Amino acid sequence: MKSFGYTISEDRQIDFDANDRNMTGFINSIEPSIRLCLGCGSCTATCSAGHFTDLNIRRIHTLVQRGELQHLKKEIMKCMLCGKCQLVCPRGVNLRNLILLIHSALEKSGL
Amino acid sequence: MKVEGKQRIWMDYQKEIAEDHFFYVRSCVRQNFFPGSEKTFLRILKSELQKDIYENPSHTTCSGIGYHTDIVPFETAMTMVARQFALMTEAGYENFTTSCITSFGLYSEVLETWHHFPETEEKTREFLLRATGREFKKPNNVSHASDIIFRFRKEIRDKGKYKLVNQHTGQPLRVVEHIGCHYSKMFPSKGIGGAEYPYVLIGMIEDWGGEVIDYPERRHCCGFGFRQYLIQANRGFSISCSKKKFDSMEPYKPDMILTNCPGCPMFLDRWQYAISEMEGKTYGENGHGIPVLTYEELAGLVLGYNPWDLGLQVHQVPVEPLLDKIGIPYDPEMKFKGADGQDLGKPESPSFLKFYFENV
Amino acid sequence: MPDLYNKLFEDVRFREGLKACLNCGTCTAICPAAEFYDYQPRRILDILQTKDDSQIENLLKSNTIWYCGECMSCVTRCPRGNAPGLLIQSLRSLSQELGYFTESEKGRQQLAIKRTIGKWILEYGYCLFPSEIMPAMHPEQGPIWEWEHKNIEAVMLRLGANYKGTGPGILRKIPDEALDEIYRIFEVTGGISRFDKIEEFSRKKAKEMGMDMEDGTNDDYMKFIYTANSGNHTKKHEG
Amino acid sequence: MSKTAIIIGGGAAGMETASQLARLGIEVDLIEKQSRLGGHLNSWDRLFPNRRDSKEVSEYLELGMNDGISLHMNTEIDDIRMAGERFTLALRDGNELYSDALVIATGYEVFDARKKEEYGYGIYDNVITSVELEEFFRNNKQKNLFEGIQSKRVGIVHCVGSRDEKAGNLYCSKLCCVTGVKQAIEIKELMPDAEIFCFYMDLRMFDRHFEEMYYEAQEKWGIQFIRGRLSEASENPDHTLLVKLEDTLTGLPLKMKIDLLILLVGFVPSPETQRLAAMLGLKEGDDRFLCAADEHTSTNSTAIPGVFLAGTVKGPAGIANTITDARSTALQVAAYLK
């Protein structure tokens, strides 16, 4: 194959149908409160780790719902599991458990 | 898909296209890559339709590619446009027609800007006068050359020798149309059929006997993106856009792609070659690729012009399979000959895209 | 720091392009650049709406504003009549006026465009000219272009062009008087000054980067900006 | 001679105004251009937020159609003349009606979804409006909504023709959000294995029990909400739809395959409302709905003495608010005629 000095890229869209959402199902079934997010961003605003890193807990939550978990391994390590997000969530979403479940879902699937 | 729904929208975007007496300006990309198309356009207008169309040798680029790569300021581009209008005014014409979609978009943008911000028109007039001593009237009618072919598509069909029908199966050819972004995305009312379902090429395809294929990525840009192709480091973007379109249209098995923009046919043609070299992937039947034509080339084929007079030999994706389907005779020996049969050698064969083959 | 927001506001394209964004994302949804680059037109409006000059300065110095392909697909869709594509054009103009474009990999490419397209406009009166489109710089043009380029005069003759000829026709020689006129247009309207700024700021940058820069297309800096790609432009996820 | 009122429009607003005026002893002519009273209510299946059958509300309104109300069905108005404090209505059938007060209750119509060209309504096979879904619920409940469709993914598109300069409507239609949530739940009730997505910009759950319904949709029914306005739909070879939007909470463009796309069409003033307004010289707002005498304090009267407004001629409103508004109009009319 020839090289012309550049590469053909995959698009960055969330390709919902191409994503494996089994892990999403697994996480949501163990922690049903995850479904209740209304996207307000209180969690991200208060996030201790978010003040020092680019961790965005709301974005992580949304990505999990879209089946985009594969890249989150490094991302969730930034979380200090302090639980402030959960404290401020107006819908009582257990975000701390979300982080733990992402961890075990990734581990389960060998990622 | 219900075509009546589209027809209703087409009715909403009727556009006035002048009948005769055109002041013609050329396209930089088209002259470089598809000179036969401009030649054919003038031939059709003059000898088939007996129209008056005038070209002033002094007209230049509108600077559109410079403008959209942002090295040319808006004030400069507006004054370049004004100069073309001045040449038109001096020649006594009022109907301005351009071969280029980037230009068409720029002329439309400039006229709209002058309309909404009259001080910019005043300033432009001052600039033009100072730089060239010229003055101008705004055109009465601005059209893209494809609008004109659209307007006279039925006359072309009536004079035509060929239809877009597969002579082996009797079925209409399956045609994908690709509209240049700057034709109507900025100003939907300036394009025939609007921005979402432009009708300008569909009208030609249908009236000439073909069948139009709508596919999910129809509206996607070819990926030129001006600076995105012109700089080698950015070309990955450009090729990825085209690939997205090919992947999306592939399941519909199109017989050809028809375009109205100067750049798009070049990219849709060349990127098929590049994709084949980079990934071994070819589109279309038997590794031949999907032929990409300009509307002038297609009109020329319908009218029975010699494919090698139209410039179909300077396509990287071979057009012979399409000619065979329509039943258009051609002389393979003459494909790469110069004027008077002069021997110019032949292009090399690509690694994967089938370029040379036995005449069927 | 210059008064950036107000400078942008002087550009009619900026005034036309920025009404009030409601952050719906219809622009980003169909933006080809957003599909392949770490880029969201919506974010551009978000930042501009803050009128915060320090954020705008970052934007003017970033790769971000150079990802857009100016296809204007965003303009068709915006439910508030904003035009992200026009805003990009005004940002790019200002970035070049202030020399900020040399601070980003994608911005630095402006010199290469100026020295090709810009030069050809003034020299030939065309944005492109076949003899200048070197197969080596455009390998994707394929064997067909290699053949055509090698036989350009004969191919142009075969296809009915008036290649470098007088009078009307395809790729005719544009009369010197006409070329003089467009040069004067560029002088009067700020085109030449834009070109000079691109040269001047690039020269400064090349020096700062310790690279050789001459006047053509073959010096180290030109080759570098034409081909350099950090590979950091397409990332989808943080971290 | 006792004073009378004419009410134009036999939907919820007109019916309730007529009923209340009759109760107050005022003689009323109620004009309806169709053959049936009830207006849009006849198209709805169940009402938000409690999903009660709309027919119950229709029955309530019909109970009010008592003595003292002269019904003029299938009746169109050609002209209205004002002389002194009397109104003369020239009807299409050649008859004339007279009154001392006039109530405009000609309502709204739903946005024509074909104008939102990029969603392909009227072009792609599997794009329908929220109104068509209601009709389906009302008439074909036993049938499978997905007949001939393989998988069961539904997309519900908010703000179709609302909050949209290009559709000509800058305003929010405010009832579409809750309609979407209601319909999402109803689809899920019919087909528990359906996957349902709402594509929204903001969820305007402004009224009592609306927010709770949103909560229920998420908690009990697993409806998924994606924050981004739909940018375009196109048709796949298998007649499913490819939709594109930005998932704005992740900042990434998103595409997905949808089997059935439901467009939540908003309110626009009905042509009849606009025609009567022009005839009488009533003031239209920049949203083309009619203006009352005062936006806060005189919401039922107009600048013209004797001309009153009821219901959705003044802008988007739900059934409960429409009925409340109609009662308030009736009181104002009664006070004026006294």
pLDDT tens digits, D322-335: 999 999 999 999 99
- Residue C143: pLDDT band (50, 70, 90) is very high
Task: For residue D123, give the nearest of B2, B194, B216 by CB distance.
Answer: B2
Q: Under an 8 A CB cutoff, do D251 and C40 touch?
A: yes
Fold of the domain spanning D113-267: FAD/NAD(P)-binding domain (3.50.50)
What's residue D241's pLDDT?
Answer: 96
Supply the mean pLDDT for chain C.
96
**What's the pLDDT tens digit per position in B219-252?**
999 999 999 999 999 999 999 999 999 999 999 9
Count of the separate structural domains present in chain B: 2
Contact status, residue B81 vs residue B64, Cβ threshold 8 Å: no
Measure the CA–CA gap between D93 and B240, rounded to whole angstroms: 66
Q: Are residues C95 and C113 in the same domain?
A: no
Task: For residue D117, give the nearest of B197, B216, B218 by CB distance.
Answer: B197
Domain hosting C95: range is: 4-101
> What amino acid is encoded at A104 in this protein?
S
CB-defined contacts A:C, below 8 A = 32
- Residue C76: pLDDT band (50, 70, 90) is very high
CATH of the domain at C14: 1.10.1060.10
Chain D closest-CA separation from residue B132 CA (Å): 41
Question: To the nearest whole percent, how much of chain D has pLDDT over 90?
Answer: 90
Could you check whether the bond before residue D49 is cis, i.e. omega within 30 degrees of 0? yes
Q: Under an 8 A CB cutoff, do A8 and B243 touch?
A: yes
Q: Is C137 on the interface with A (CB under 8 A)?
A: no
- Residue D140: pLDDT band (50, 70, 90) is confident
| Domain residue ranges in chain A | 22-30+39-108
**What's the pLDDT tens digit per position in B58-109?**
999 999 999 999 999 999 999 999 999 999 999 999 999 999 999 999 999 9
- Joined together, the tokens standing for residue A39 give 């996207």
Domain hosting B304: range is: 153-341
What's residue A89's pLDDT?
Answer: 97
- Residue D143: pLDDT band (50, 70, 90) is low
Q: Are residues C111 and C89 in the same domain?
A: no
Chain D closest-CA separation from residue C52 CA (Å): 21
Measure the CA–CA gap between C98 and B64, rounded to whole angstroms: 23
> What amino acid is encoded at C62 in this protein?
S
Q: Under an 8 A CB cutoff, do A11 and C238 touch?
A: no
Q: What are phi and psi of B252, to 5 degrees?
A: -85, 0
Q: Are residues B185 and B319 in the same domain?
A: yes
- CA–CA distances in Å: residue B122 to residues B82, B127, B133, C136: 11, 9, 15, 45
CATH of the domain at B304: 3.40.50.11810
| Domain residue ranges in chain D | 4-107+270-337, 113-267
pLDDT at D149 over 70: no
- Residue B357: pLDDT band (50, 70, 90) is confident
Q: Are residues B117 and B232 in the same domain?
A: no
Count of the separate structural domains present in chain C: 2
Kindly provide the ipTM of the predicted complex, given to two decimals.
0.95
Least confident of B163-172, C75-84, D126-135, D149-158: D149-158
Q: Which residue of D has its CA nearest to B10?
A: D117
**What's the pLDDT tens digit per position in D54-106?**
999 999 999 999 889 999 999 999 999 999 899 999 999 999 999 999 999 99
Two domains, one topology: D4-107+270-337 and D113-267:
yes
> Among the three residues C101, C129, C163, which one is the final residue of a domain in this structure?
C101
What's residue D145's pLDDT?
Answer: 67
Task: For residue A8, give the nearest of B233, B236, B351 by CB distance.
Answer: B236
Q: Under an 8 A CB cutoff, do D253 and A65 touch?
A: no
Superfamily of domain D4-107+270-337 in CATH is FAD/NAD(P)-binding domain (3.50.50.60)
What's residue A111's pLDDT?
Answer: 73
Q: What is the mean pLDDT of residues D261-275?
A: 96
In a domain, C236, yes or no: no
In a domain, C19, yes or no: yes
Measure the CA–CA gap between C163 and C155, rounded to whole angstroms: 10
pLDDT at B360 over 50: no
Instruction: List the pLDDT tens digit at each of the 111 positions of chain A.
Output: 899 999 999 999 999 999 988 999 999 999 999 999 999 999 999 999 999 999 999 999 999 999 999 889 999 999 999 999 999 999 999 999 999 999 999 998 887
Q: Is C83 on the interface with D (CB under 8 A)?
A: no
**What's the pLDDT tens digit per position in C171-209?**
999 999 999 999 999 999 999 999 999 999 999 999 999
CATH of the domain at B20: 1.20.1050.140
> Among the three residues B97, B119, B145, which one is the final residue of a domain in this structure?
B145
| Chain C hits for B225, Cβ within 8 Å | 32-33, 68-71
Measure the CA–CA gap between D256 and D244, rounded to whole angstroms: 7
Task: For residue C127, give the nearest of B66, B228, B349 by CB distance.
Answer: B66
Q: Under an 8 A CB cutoff, do A12 and C38 touch?
A: yes
Task: For residue B252, give the nearest of D114, D120, D237 by CB distance.
Answer: D237
Q: Is A65 on the interface with D (CB under 8 A)?
A: yes
What's residue C1's pLDDT?
Answer: 67
Supply the mean pLDDT for chain A.
94
pLDDT at C147 over 60: yes
Q: Is D228 on the interface with C (CB under 8 A)?
A: yes
What's residue A20's pLDDT?
Answer: 87
Q: Under an 8 A CB cutoff, do C76 and B28 touch?
A: no
* The pTM of the whole model exceeds 0.90: yes
Closest by CA position to B127, among listed B199, B76, B201: B76
> Among the three residues C101, C117, C132, which one is the final residue of a domain in this structure?
C101
In a domain, B4, yes or no: no
Q: What is the mean pLDDT of residues B200-208?
A: 98
Q: Under an 8 A CB cutoff, do A72 and C139 touch?
A: no
Helix (H) or strand (E) holding B43: helix B35-43
Q: Is B105 on the interface with C (CB under 8 A)?
A: yes
Measure the CA–CA gap between D292 and D314, rounded to whole angstroms: 7
In a domain, C237, yes or no: no
Measure the CA–CA gap between D327 and C167, rounded to whole angstroms: 81
